[in-house]
Amino acid sequence: MHTVVVGTSGVTASDVLAVARAGARVELSDEAVAALAAARDIVDALAAKPEPVYGVSTGFGALATRHISPELRGRLQRNIVRSHAAGMGPRVEREVVRALMFLRLKTVCSGRTGVRPEVAQTMADVLNAGITPVVHEYGSLGCSGDLAPLSHCALTLMGEGDAEGPDGTVRPAGELLAEHRITPVELREKEGLALLNGTDGMLGMLVMALADLDTLYKSADVTAALTMEALLGTDKVLAPELHAIRPHPGQAASAANMLAVLDGSGLTGHHQDDAPRVQDAYSVRCAPQVAGAGRDTMAHAGLVAERELASAVDNPVVLPDGRVESNGNFHGAPVAYVLDFLAVAVADLGSIAERRTDRLLDKNRSHGLPPFLADDAGVDSGLMIAQYTQAALVGELKRLAVPASADSIPSSAMQEDHVSMGWSAARKLRTAVDNLARVIAVELYAATRAIQLREGLTPAPASRAVIDAVRAAGVQGPGPDRYLSPDLAAADAFVRAGHLVTAAETVTGPLR
């Protein structure tokens, strides 16, 4: 099994995906263990002094003014974990929790938190054992970090609360630790706070969303090309020289992808109308501009994620010169903003795909295709209600595009009076990404059927490869009305798994 070694300088997006989704093992580097020990020596030295140090010998948040005596500090650290493990609602997905734990371990291994090496090793052991703490949907305001979700993870390290075992069964965490011979941690000064105070949940969800969207944006380029072909549109608008004079990288990439898919088509520009079209509708002609803007948004979000993956987010932090200083680096604004920005781009990509689908189904705008792509219109309804479903999904995407980060709610007796809501932004983006895959699947279903209804005209080789692959995956072609949900589910699975992109690439080579 692949192993990810965690050092002091952060991790990569591929590391996060390997641990969260592929179950990769985690190991601590010798460098990380040494850094952990050195930082802990600093914390222990400060703990022995009479002067109060936030998080070491004081309370937290609005209670930070109380100096805590040495005999109560272990209890203080246990109590912050127990009291902050206050999440409610449905369980969060296993991959999200694994990303959350792994990214917290990444910060701990930076040597900036003051956590002992044995605590970090226990975090790695829990991940490697396939134990997944039960984390709930609601509880994080994204400041100070993802407190409640991380607290539920820390609770498992203490052998308390509930967790899911490698067999998928939820049981008391203490039982699972004992079965895997993992000793529960006894928290010392600062350690409880250090396990809770980060943007790890929202960051993990951002990394996974970017990976999924990389596939979905390529998929959207393919379906846009198929629709252009089915509508007998012109691919002249995809010429590289047109996109060079408006040099947005994402736009050029999307146009190049569409052009590659349409290479060799016998449908594009083959107008059946009495009067040839001068221009295609915006949803067809402007597909690269809209998808390209989303791609550029992803590039910016990826840069934010890369910076955050290299960060040590905690409060207070242990600095190289030995100081332990309070700070505001736990605020989730940088991550929250791009999560919200991505939700806007996803909604717009879904919206333009739905408009293309509607055009394929409307006999007044489809340039010779039967109404609703029906076999016997009137007796058959064709894909009429598939488009309704797609429209409902797009409506939901638009609601999910409302930014969470603009909705700060003060907490902690006004000590934490401006919060990021980044966790909420991440949660709604996950839903949006799921729905975008479904929207693209409906366009794929309609476009492939429409191309097959263009009798006597030869589609591009890449289009033919897509049609063959999607039919082999159980998505049926033209014919009388039938139960549509299984077809749509199969198309969704085909898109989500990346098979649409793979099928096109068998002809085009790697898409951008």
Which amino acids are annotated catalytic? 54
Can you tell me which residue has the tokens 């279903």?
445
Is the four-CA dihedral 56, 423, 426, 162 of positive or negative sign? positive
Token pair listed for 448: 């492939």
State residue 410 phi and psi, 5-degree precision.
-60, 150
Inter-residue contact 191 to 318 (CB < 8 Å): no
User: Whose CA is closest to 397, among 442, 342, 343, 339?
Assistant: 343
d(CA 105, CA 138): 22
Which of 507, 389, 380 has its CA nearest to residue 453? 380
User: Residue 376: what residue type?
Assistant: D
294 three-state secondary structure:
helix
Return the percent helix, strand and coil in the chain, to nearest 5: 55, 5, 35
- Using CA atoms, how far apart are residues 316 and 300, in angstroms rounded to an integer? 29
CA 340, CA 133: separation in Å to the nearest integer? 27
Cβ neighbours around 4 below 10 Å, total: 20
The H-assigned helical ranges of 180-248 are: 191-194, 200-230, 240-244
223: buried, middle or exposed (CB in 10 Å: 19+, 13-18, 0-12)? buried
Residues 6+ apart with CB under 8 A from 450: 227, 230, 231, 360, 366, 369, 373
Cα separation, 447 vs 201, in Å, equals: 38
**Neighbour count for residue 252 (Cβ, 10 Å):** 19
Alpha-carbon span 317 to 328, nearest angstrom? 10
Using DSSP's 3-state secondary structure scheme, residue 88 falls into strand
Which tokens is 103 given? 């990214």
Cα(278)–Cα(340) distance, rounded to whole angstroms?
A: 37
Distance (Å, rounded) from C-alpha 503 to C-alpha 512? 15
